Amino acid sequence: MFIENVLRDLHYGFRMLRRSPLFSLLVITCLTLGIGANAAVFSWIEGILLRPFPKVVNQDRLLVLTGLKPGESHPDSMSWPDFLDLQRNSTFIDSFIADKITGTTLTIGDRAERVAASIVSSNYFNALGIPLLRGRGFYAAEEQGRNAHPVTVISYWLWMQRFHGDPEVIGKTQMLNGVPHTIIGVAPEGFYGTFVGYPIEFWVPISMQELFEPGGYKLENRDERWIEGFVLPKRGVSPRQAEQELASIAKRLEIEYPATNRGRGIKLFPLWKDPFNGASEQLPVMKLSSAAVFILLLIVCANVSNLLLVRSFARRREIVVRLAVGAGRSRLLKQLFTEGLILSACAAIGGILVAYSCRNLVAFLLPPTGGAAVNLPGQIDGRVLALSIGITLLSTLMFSLIPAIQNSDIDVASALKSESGAVFGASGRSRLRSGLVLLQMALSFVLLVGSVLLIESVHKIRTADPGFSTQNVLTSTVNLVTAGYDEQRAKTFREALVDRVQAISGVQSAAYSRIRPFTYSPYPSARIAVDGYQAQSDEVPSVEYNQVDPRYFETMGIALLSGRDFTYADDETSLPVVIVNQRMVDQYWRGQDPVGKRLQVDGRSLRVIGVAKVSKYGALGEAPRPFFYIPMRQGLEVRSGIINIRTSLDASLMAAALARVVHELDANLAPTEVITMREQVNRYSLRAQQIAVTLLGMFGGLAVLMAAIGLYGVMSYMVNQSRRELGLRIALGASARDLLQLVLTQGFFLTAAGVVIGSVTALSLTRLIGALLYQVNPREPLAFASAFAVLTITSTAAGLLPALRATKTDPARVLHE
């Protein structure tokens, strides 16, 4: 009996929907947008945060391993000796997996493109459960020795693009950072490595660190913190238990190695909080998107409820007759809910298709830069499908409940006697429909406020002063490591390139630096000691630095507050010198001018020759931090580096000139793309905001559209229900302008009430996007005013057509009906 009733309800539901195809199409379209937006965000959360590594097994157990800096809770990398000690002494962990992103440059024509790579421990592929398509992974012995094992596993993409799918690729060589590497394996298709954001194209064993990780040989230095990685706890071991065991091992290492490990701890993170890759960057965006699409779903359901209320008015006679001949009210509720479920099911199919087509939207919003492909794919798996089904059922319940209850609460006797055919009080129905529009307006207002705040934040970032010139300074790099340059040859090339670039018409100055600001490449750091400065008992003074050429400060537009700049005489044969920034002066010299004083850097004595103005080094929102500069000629080996150029030429002209000069010096070399420092800052600082603005703008636009449709429906309904009143007003002398003002005022009151409710809601919710805002108050009045203006224009446009229809009412006709 139950199955027969269900089948009968389904059959009747499909028949009723076929009778009004335009109505059904409109409802399904609205629901498809709401369910599809939610499914798309679910797929991004699944593919970017929760299960970001396709083909990797046990991702639910995989944890990110980080160190902790002394006296700080900020995560830090680890040294290889510490990593090995943790591995040897842990009993709760199945596998320790080292993984550090690096890369090389592949030359294509007159441009060079960066290819992402990973330095990994020998157990990398086995511990992750990745069966190689061809060949083998790394042997344990290949972790040993200094640059002793030039072997590599290449990605499926590299195999297809560079080797055209050659089945005999194993044993062949590929030049990587100037050294021929023997290919020992090919990763399976669809495995992109374990870095969120960029697909890894090849992997090398940890023994090749010195070739791919700048800063010299680090495998035996406990003070060199560069290792990133993961742990796989044993089954039954909680993340907290694993972290406590590793923290206790770290405490023992503090006692054994106080000079390097004092104050250092251990922290484990789930994959979705990984601080070393794109996961931490996308986390606030995904949180914001989740909230936005849920709000959008509420708006959609309110809109569909309004549409169903209109349709129920058209079906009032059918419902009254069914009740009169004995149909139970519960039976009627089931029938109406079934019709809603049919609509939702059709929309769910469309929603999954929408989500599938939008699975790479996040990566699309971040186009490749400098040749590095962006990899932030959504993943539609069983969990996403299950959540989408849950959203479908929830939305069905939300939009079907109110019309179903209204239609079941009918006084049959009164309805059959009523000449007007009113099923229930028109004023009650009008209040309900107005309330649903009010909800849509309020929620749309919240999304609009968030969008305006993010747009203002993006504007602030684009115009922010990072403490160095951004418009007239261009930056590029020429990878000499890939070409096999040794230090002396690289030094000769750099000096010749700078001289030739400075000779180009329109170039004011040029200078090399080891690192450029606002990049994922970390600045090196060094232990320091300052005469007269007493460190706290748990403090190990360590400061980041950069290696730069003479004229670097002039080129970058960083002011020297005292002392002098570096010169070409500051080389390996002269007295070691250093320039410190003002924040370092304030912290370590108590504000006294340090020019002429000594600074101990990793036990080496340097003479302070200048003080530079503080600038931003890694992020616009960072607090001023100590920083120093040393001459490139007096620092560690640097075979590549960044060339910075102050010029009046635009980027395209400078790119052509730079490529020509590089080819003149070495026909086998090519520079990477040439961009302004403003573009460099924006690329690094605007990634999350750019995605958030676009997504919230899209969801906000859809919300306003839905609210406009809902308001139009309410205004049309009110005009239809008030035809006699409108006719009477016209007969008594009301002008078209009076009627237009009357109808539009009712729409404006709905909008104003929605804005009031939305404002209160927005004041409490906009703090959730604080992590994405830069120098913008979450309660910025301009954002609220802008959202109010948009909704006012929208409500005016939505109410205009019904208002114009009201002015054309024929009083003679409606008064005689």
CA distance 344 to 370: 44
Q: Which residues pair with 647 in a beta bridge?
A: 507
Instruction: Please say whether the beta carbons of 332 and 319 come within 8 A.
Output: yes
CB burial string 102-131: b at 16+ within 10 A, e below: bbbbbeeeebbbbbbbbbbbbbbbebbebe
Q: What is the DSSP string of 700-715?
A: HHHHHHHHHHHHHHHH
Output the pLDDT for position 415.
Answer: 45
CA distance 76 to 540: 14
- On the CB side of 120, CA atoms within 13 Å amount to 26
Residue extents of the structural domains in the chain: 1-60+279-424, 70-263, 444-464+685-817, 479-671
What is the token pair recorded at 410? 């009918």
Parts of the chain with a pLDDT under 70: 1-14, 16-17, 19, 71-73, 106-113, 310-333, 335-336, 367-373, 401-430, 537-539, 636-639, 714, 717-734, 736, 739, 805-817
Output the pLDDT for position 426.
Answer: 46
Torsion of CA 190, 196, 202, 208, to 10 degrees: -150
Three-state SS string over 432-467 comes to: HHHHHHHHHHHHHHHHHHHHHHHHHHHHHHHHCCCC
Output the pLDDT for position 417.
Answer: 47
CA distance 597 to 590: 13
First to last CA, the chain: 47
Instruction: Please say whether the beta carbons of 580 and 509 come within 8 A.
Output: no
Instruction: Please say whether the beta carbons of 693 and 452 come within 8 A.
Output: no
Block residue for tokens 């993170």: 269
Output the pLDDT for position 401.
Answer: 67
